[in-house]
Amino acid sequence: MKTQIELAREGIISTQMAAVAREENVSPEYVRQMVAEGKVVIPGNHNRKPRAVGIGKGLRTKVNASIGTSSDIIDYEAEVRKARAAEAAGADTLMELSVGGDLDRVRREVIAAVDLPVGNVPLYQAFCEAARKYGDPNRLDEELLFDLIERQCADGMAFMAVHCGINLYTIERLRKQGYRYGGLVSKGGVSMVAWMLANGRENPLYERFDRVVAILKKYDTVLSLGNGLRAGAIHDSSDRAQIQELLINCELAEIGREMGCQMLVEGPGHVPLDEVEGNIQLQKRMSGGAPYYMLGPISTDVAPGFDHITAAIGAAQSSRYGADLICYITPAEHLALPNEEDVRQGVKAAKIAAYIGDMNKYPEKARERDKEMSKARRDLDWEKQFQLALYPEDARAIRASRTPEDEATCTMCGDFCASRGAGKLFSGDLRGDKI
């Protein structure tokens, strides 16, 4: 069976491309052309047909939610509930990142529970299985790794973050720059670096990249080039190790596309706001416009408990400057395994951030909703306000919890409602009624 990019190059508009076009209000031919050029991907799998979600140029910025067990907390039912909570809150994609318990079971149960495209990081399970089998994750056999990637793809993974861009040269860059303030924060990245150093060998995912691509292409799973050396502190942002990995991933994205596999590039972690635009421009230029999957980005290191907000600020900027997929951050980041409420709050913060970014990225088509909301507020049309809200039930609940005496107003101003007073003054001369 052919991949989406192969179909697009043959001039075929697939069912998935047509569905993305309807959802995004663009032409099917536009979607086909962007998929053919590798500037849009549609995560899916020949063994599972999730909801068609387009990620890339000219499309709405998407939001990913990540869930998964840890070695401390293993609750399969909780992960399914979190997956459903993420979908209900509006996540566009889901990553299942478990490292504790029966990893095949949790992956399969999560995939079965939602209609979203589901992704994962195969290195997590690979090193977990090596540790259980040999008592040492550094004894991981590369054949076990490639077999596992195939097994996970066969289960229906729509996209897969594979750490192909870490090699011996990038590790040397890390050493020569004097390590880092924030160290290494990618579980998959650290595990692969440890394996390479312990075995004195090159990363097999880099060395045998063609085999990685062949497996994912077989299932039409999107290859998301993992960001194993991403910055875990804003003072490490854009250092030589991170940029070296980004360069390699952009090269690999080009190679993978030519082989007929859909490709994403990941980055960059913790980033000060003044570096967001440059990072995205660099990735787009070096990768030939491959869709960019932004992890975070967290814009300050000193707000634990509120990192969904620090990341939302970075995500809005990222969306504005051309990022295509945002990975949410929850209030539990840096502190604990997220629970259901953390997942909901993380998705909502990221969705709002992506919406704000899209308002500036596509001002000609993304601001009409805000204009209608302004008119509804001016006119004290509460039902219309709820209809236009990104999260209507949250807005309704807050208003209902503090009911005003005059239902036309709210308890913020009550008798001193500015909108009501101005409406009486200018009721016959409302610009909004004329447009």
The model's pLDDT over 241-255, given as tens digits with 9 standing for 90+, comes to 999 999 999 999 999
Tell me, what's the pLDDT at 50?
Answer: 97
pLDDT tens, residue by residue, 385-411: 999 999 999 999 999 999 888 888 899
- The CA distances from residue 205 to 7, 196, 241, 260, in Å, are 26, 11, 18, 18
CA distance 48 to 54: 16
Alpha helices in 288-339 (DSSP H): 307-321
pLDDT tens, residue by residue, 271-301: 999 999 999 999 999 999 999 999 989 999 9
Label residue 247 exposed, middle or buried (CB < 10 Å: 0-12, 13-18, 19+): middle
Which of 143, 14, 55, 81 is CA-nearest to residue 354?
55
Look up residue 296 and give its two tokens: 């975070």
Would you say residue 432 has pLDDT above 70?
no
Tell me, what's the pLDDT at 431?
Answer: 55
> What SS3 state is found at 98?
coil
Sequential DSSP letters for 347-364:
HHHHHHHHHHHHHHHSHH
Q: Outline which parts of the chain fall under CATH 3.20.20.540.
A: 4-364
* pLDDT, greater one: 317 or 418: 317
Query: What confidence category does residue 73 fall into, taking pLDDT thresholds of 50, 70 and 90?
Result: very high
What number is the average pLDDT over the span 39-46?
Answer: 98
Domain 4-364 architecture: Alpha-Beta Barrel (3.20)
Q: How many CB atoms lie within 10 A of CB 18?
A: 14
pLDDT tens, residue by residue, 197-229: 999 999 999 999 999 999 999 999 999 999 999
* pLDDT, greater one: 39 or 424: 39
Tell me, what's the pLDDT at 425?
Answer: 81
Question: Strands 263-270, 222-225: parallel, antiparallel or unpaired by DSSP?
Answer: parallel
